[in-house]
Amino acid sequence: MNNKRNLKPPLSITRKSNHEGYESHNRLITTKMGNVEKILPKEICRILDTCGSCSLLNEDYKTQLLLKSARLKEHFKELGSSLPQVVVQHFVESSEKLAYRQSVKLVVSEHFVNGKPWIDIGFYRQSLNKIVDIGNCPIQNSILNDIMYYLRSALKNFKIPIYSPKRKTGILSGLILRSSRSTKQTFVTLLVRELKPALFRELACNLIEKFSHVQGVFLQLENPEMNQKDSGTVLVAGADIIEEKFGTLNFKLSCDVELPIHPIMTSKVFSRVIELCELTGTQTVLHLYSGMGALSCLLAKQARMVYALDEKNSYVKNTELNLKFHNIKNVHVECGKISKTLPAITPSLQTCEAIIITAPRSGIDTSLIETVTKLSPKHIIFVSSFHEHMGSDLKVFAQNNYTPLFVEPFDTHPGTPYFEVLCYLKKSA
């Protein structure tokens, strides 16, 4: 007698996709009623409108680039006479349209169906005032999706109390997943309201045992009311270093460093920056907001001296770690408010042929732009996410006689409205 139970398979809805290469993309969705659906959607993402993060995902790739290019050109048109006519070059395309995302920050919440708890992992949608569970996200890599799928049940099994903003109870409020594309090594950082490593240790060990790519599991204190968003990170289990490759070099990175969402496109940006610097081994290069230090290390291979400045101690520590790892000795690293540290090292710069600014999303200070332009470099390479501050910063550069010769967009976020822009600035005659 066959004692096996006849289990009904998940609801399967098969539709033909209009997008080449998307037909085999499966998604698992847990509905509010607790039903699991396996879907081959006509649209690439069934919750596209509800999530709201990937508004271009159902467009073919050529259309996506045309829409983004039109937005970029319109942005410069709106700046009017404050900038001379800027040449907008063609988009540098992404070879990966789906499953490219290697890093994501998510919200964890809990809802109840007939008294049973269900875990949602996704994004907070302000217009809906709710957490949207993103299911098996088509732009994330499979490692991140598999970990999310496992956590939806594991958090219940290990009795992890989920934070409720309404009741002000619970501990776990979110998570950050970071994965290396080259090595597949992954960090899982659990965002918590209290640091209680003992409560999460069994879950952390289980994660590392179940997923061979998970290197380390961390707790990070998240308390917006106390403005401690980035403080109090504790290793619960595993190791605190992963490796990622940019250009020709491998880099060791810690859990408190933001990994690029799309490492392949980030490497393309780095390569283009190095190409535009026209380095022959005799130049001095200044890199502001140097981040994890990967670009500074790559520049050092072709420059006489590189000065790398950043405002976050964690980034500076990672830069120093990788300089030692690669035995690079021609990079000088400074940590602190750049508007203060830059004037302090200016006498040491003497002549500075190239200045690279990988600008934060909040833009940069007018005083810093004035300080940079007074160094009279041969060229300034300004790399920024496409947002309102980019145009404002370029206007200030123009007022200080450095105008963009051209801008080159990189599609670092296919399927979404977001992208990076490289602006090549030359001194006005």
Question: What mean pLDDT do residues 108-132 have?
Answer: 86
- Does 172 score more than 70 pLDDT? yes
- Does 301 score more than 50 pLDDT? yes
Among 34-38, 106-110, 155-159, 326-330, where is mean pLDDT lowest? 34-38
Check residues 361 and 417 and name the one with the higher pLDDT.
417
Report pLDDT digits (tens) over 145-163.
Answer: 999 999 999 999 999 999 9
Q: What is the pLDDT of residue 386?
A: 85
Question: What mean pLDDT do residues 350-356 have?
Answer: 89
Q: What is the pLDDT of residue 89?
A: 95
Q: What is the pLDDT of residue 117?
A: 85
186 strand-pairing partners: 179, 214
Burial status of residue 182 (CB atoms within 10 A of its CB: 0-12, 13-18, 19 or more)? middle
212-to-136, 186, 207 alpha-carbon distances in Å: 20, 9, 9
pLDDT band at 392 (very low <50, low <70, confident <90, very high): confident
Q: What is the pLDDT of residue 389?
A: 81
Report pLDDT digits (tens) over 71-83.
Answer: 999 988 888 777 7
Check residues 33 and 3 and name the one with the higher pLDDT.
33
The percent of residues in the chain predicted with pLDDT above 90, rounded, is 68
Written as one string, the DSSP assignment of 171-206 is: SEEEEEEEE-TTT--EEEEEEESS--HHHHHHHHHH
Question: What mean pLDDT do residues 37-66 have?
Answer: 79
Q: Which amino acid is at 207?
A: L
Check residues 29 and 11 and name the one with the higher pLDDT.
29
Among 68-72, 131-135, 248-252, 384-388, where is mean pLDDT lowest? 384-388
Cα–Cα distance for residue pair 342/324, rounded to 1 Å: 23
Report pLDDT digits (tens) over 205-254.
Answer: 999 999 999 999 999 998 745 444 445 789 999 999 999 999 999 999 99
pLDDT band at 10 (very low <50, low <70, confident <90, very high): very low
At 99 the three-state DSSP class reads coil
Average pLDDT, the chain: 87
Report pLDDT digits (tens) over 185-209.
Answer: 999 999 999 999 999 999 999 999 9
Question: What mean pLDDT do residues 16-36 have?
Answer: 44
Radius of gyration of the chain (CA): 24
391-to-145, 163, 233, 396, 410 alpha-carbon distances in Å: 36, 39, 36, 9, 17
H or E stretch at 158: none
Among 131-135, 313-317, 336-340, 358-362, where is mean pLDDT lowest? 358-362
Check residues 66 and 26 and name the one with the higher pLDDT.
66
Q: What are phi and psi of 257, to 5 degrees?
A: -110, 135
Alpha helices in 19-106 (DSSP H): 48-51, 61-79
Q: Which of 91, 49, 87, 85 is nearest to 68 (CA)?
A: 91
- Does 38 score more than 50 pLDDT? no
Q: What is the pLDDT of residue 35?
A: 53
Question: What mean pLDDT do residues 372-386 have?
Answer: 93
Q: What is the pLDDT of residue 33?
A: 52
- Residues 306 and 287 sit within 8 Å (Cβ to Cβ): yes
Among 119-128, 182-191, 304-313, where is mean pLDDT lowest? 119-128
User: Dihedral angle at the C-alpha atoms of 307, 310, 312, 313, nearest 10 degrees?
Assistant: 10
